[in-house]
C-alpha cells in the first residue's frame, strides 16, 4: 500500500486490490472517525494506525477532504482571466451601444410621425370646415398656423408633448411671443414648420405664392393641385445659436447664411406631412434640392425655376 496524497487528517492511499481509498488517522479506535463519516463502509485492512473506510475516486476524495476541514476551496480568477472578462464585456458594450442608440432614434422618429399624423387630422378637419387651408401667420389676434389648428387638437403647440421628440431632446426651444397690438416683431420657435411660400426665392405678387399662404392669401381647398404630392408641414430646420437651438415655424428651402444649421433630425432626413394627411421620412437631398423637390413645395405642382434663388444659395447644390 503506497500513500500518494497526504492531506493531514485524511490521507488518500492506493490499495492494490481496491484502487484509491481514504485512510483515517484513528485516535480512539476509529469510532470518532466512523461517526464523523456516517455510514461509510469500513474495510478490513488497517492502514498505518488508521482504517480504510471506503474506496473513492480522487476528485471525490478532494471534495470529502474540503468538507472535513470545514471550508470550501473555491478557485479564484487570475489577473489575466479577469482582464479577458473585462475585455469581452467592453467588446459587447461597443457592439450593443450603437444598436441601442439606433433603436432610440427610430423610436423618436416613429413618435414624431405619430405627432404629424395628429396634425394632419387637425388640418383635414380645418379644411373641411373652412374650405381653405389655414394661413401660416397673421390674423386678429396675430396667430401661427398651429394656433389656427388649436380647436382641433387636444394639446397646444406650445406644449412640448406636441413637438418632435428629437427636437426637444436636442434642447430645441418652444416659444411664442406675439407682436404687440399696435404691431411689431414676434418670436415663434417650434419643432414643426409650415409650407407658407413654397419654393419661392424672389418677390412676386402674393396671389402667385406657391405655398399654403398667410392670412391675406388664403388657399382654397381645390387650390392644391396634387394634395398627395405637396408638403404641408414637417420637421423644422433648426438653427444653433449662442443661446441654444431654435426652429422656425415657416418651412425654408434655402441655405442659412448667418447661422449654423443643425443636422437633420431623423437618419439624415425630415418627417414631412403631405396635404392629404400621409407622413413620409424624406432625405435631405430629396427635400431641399430644387430640381428634384420644387414641385412638392408648390401648390401648382410645378417647379417654377424662374422663382428660385441663385444656385449659390441652395441648401443642397448637387
SS3 82: helix
Tens place of pLDDT per residue across the chain (318 aa): 444 444 444 444 444 444 444 444 444 444 434 433 433 343 444 444 444 444 445 555 555 555 555 555 556 778 888 889 899 999 888 888 877 777 788 899 999 999 999 999 999 999 999 999 999 998 888 999 999 999 999 999 999 999 999 999 999 999 999 998 887 889 999 999 999 999 999 999 988 999 998 878 889 999 999 999 999 999 999 999 888 899 999 999 999 988 899 999 999 999 999 999 999 999 999 999 999 999 999 999 999 999 999 999 999 998
Cα distance between residue 232 and residue 138, in whole Å: 17
Closest CA to 105 of 219, 267, 213: 267
* C-beta of residue 36 within 8 angstroms of C-beta of residue 68: yes
Cα distance between residue 86 and residue 94, in whole Å: 12
Cα distance between residue 205 and residue 117, in whole Å: 32
19: left (phi over 0), alpha (psi -120 to 50) or beta: left
pLDDT at 207: 85
pLDDT at 95: 83
Task: Dihedral sign for Cα 236, 239, 244, 248, please.
Answer: negative
Pairing, β 239-241 against β 143-144:
unpaired
Q: How far is CA 3 from CA 17, 26, 50, in A?
A: 14, 16, 13
pLDDT at 102: 75
pLDDT at 198: 96
Total residues belonging to the chain: 318
Omega cis (within 30) before 246: no
Strand order in the sheet with 2-6: 2-6, 10-15, 19-25, 50-55, 46-47
Specify the pTM: 0.70
DSSP character for 60? Answer: H
Closest CA to 167 of 105, 251, 118: 105
Cα distance between residue 288 and residue 76, in whole Å: 62
Radius of gyration for the chain, computed over Cα atoms and rounded to the nearest angstrom: 40
pLDDT at 49: 44
* C-beta of residue 235 within 8 angstroms of C-beta of residue 192: yes
pLDDT at 75: 67
Using a 10 angstrom Cβ sphere, with 0-12 exposed, 13-18 middle and 19 or more buried, the burial of residue 218 is middle
Query: Could you tell me where the DSSP H helices lie in the chain?
Result: 31-36, 58-68, 79-130, 145-148, 165-169, 284-288, 290-297
* C-beta of residue 62 within 8 angstroms of C-beta of residue 75: no
Strand order in the sheet with 231-235: 192-194, 231-235, 269-274, 279-283
pLDDT at 193: 98
pLDDT at 48: 44
Amino acid at each position: 500500500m503506497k500513500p500518494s496524497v497526504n492531506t493531514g487528517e485524511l490521507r488518500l492511499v492506493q490499495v492494490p486490490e481496491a484502487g484509491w481509498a481514504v485512510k483515517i488517522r484513528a485516535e480512539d479506535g476509529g469510532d470518532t472517525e466512523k461517526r464523523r463519516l456516517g455510514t461509510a463502509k469500513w474495510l478490513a485492512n488497517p492502514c498505518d494506525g488508521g482504517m480504510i473506510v471506503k474506496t473513492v475516486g480522487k476528485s471525490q476524495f478532494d471534495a470529502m477532504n474540503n468538507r472535513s476541514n470545514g471550508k470550501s476551496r473555491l478557485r479564484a480568477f487570475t489577473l489575466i482571466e479577469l482582464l479577458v472578462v473585462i475585455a469581452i464585456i467592453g467588446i459587447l458594450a461597443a457592439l450593443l451601444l450603437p444598436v441601442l442608440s439606433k433603436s432610440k432614434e427610430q423610436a423618436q422618429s416613429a413618435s414624431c410621425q405619430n405627432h404629424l399624423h395628429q396634425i394632419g387630422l387637425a388640418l383635414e378637419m380645418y379644411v373641411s370646415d373652412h374650405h381653405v387651408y389655414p394661413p401660416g401667420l397673421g390674423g386678429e389676434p396675430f396667430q401661427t398656423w398651429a394656433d389656427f389648428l388649436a380647436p382641433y387638437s387636444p394639446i397646444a403647440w406650445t406644449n412640448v408633448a406636441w413637438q418632435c421628440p428629437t427636437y426637444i431632446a436636442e434642447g430645441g426651444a418652444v416659444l411664442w411671443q406675439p407682436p404687440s397690438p399696435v404691431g411689431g416683431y414676434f418670436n415663434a420657435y417650434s419643432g414643426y414648420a409650415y409650407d407658407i411660400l413654397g419654393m419661392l426665392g424672389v418677390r412676386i405678387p402674393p396671389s402667385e405664392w406657391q405655398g399654403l399662404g398667410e392670412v391675406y392669401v388664403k388657399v382654397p381647398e381645390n387650390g392644391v393641385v396634387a394634395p398627395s404630392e405637396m408638403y404641408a408641414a414637417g420637421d423644422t430646420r433648426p438653427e444653433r445659436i449662442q443661446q441654444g437651438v431654435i426652429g422656425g415655424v415657416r418651412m425654408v428651402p434655402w441655405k442659412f447664411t448667418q447661422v449654423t444649421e443643425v443636422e437633420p433630425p431623423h437618419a439624415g432626413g425630415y418627417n414631412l406631412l403631405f396635404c392629404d394627411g400621409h407622413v413620409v421620412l424624406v432625405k435631405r437631398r430629396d427635400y431641399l434640392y430644387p430640381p428634384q423637390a420644387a414641385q412638392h413645395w408648390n401648390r401648382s405642382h410645378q417647379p417654377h425655376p424662374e422663382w428660385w434663388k441663385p444656385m449659390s444659395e441652395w441648401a443642397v447644390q448637387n
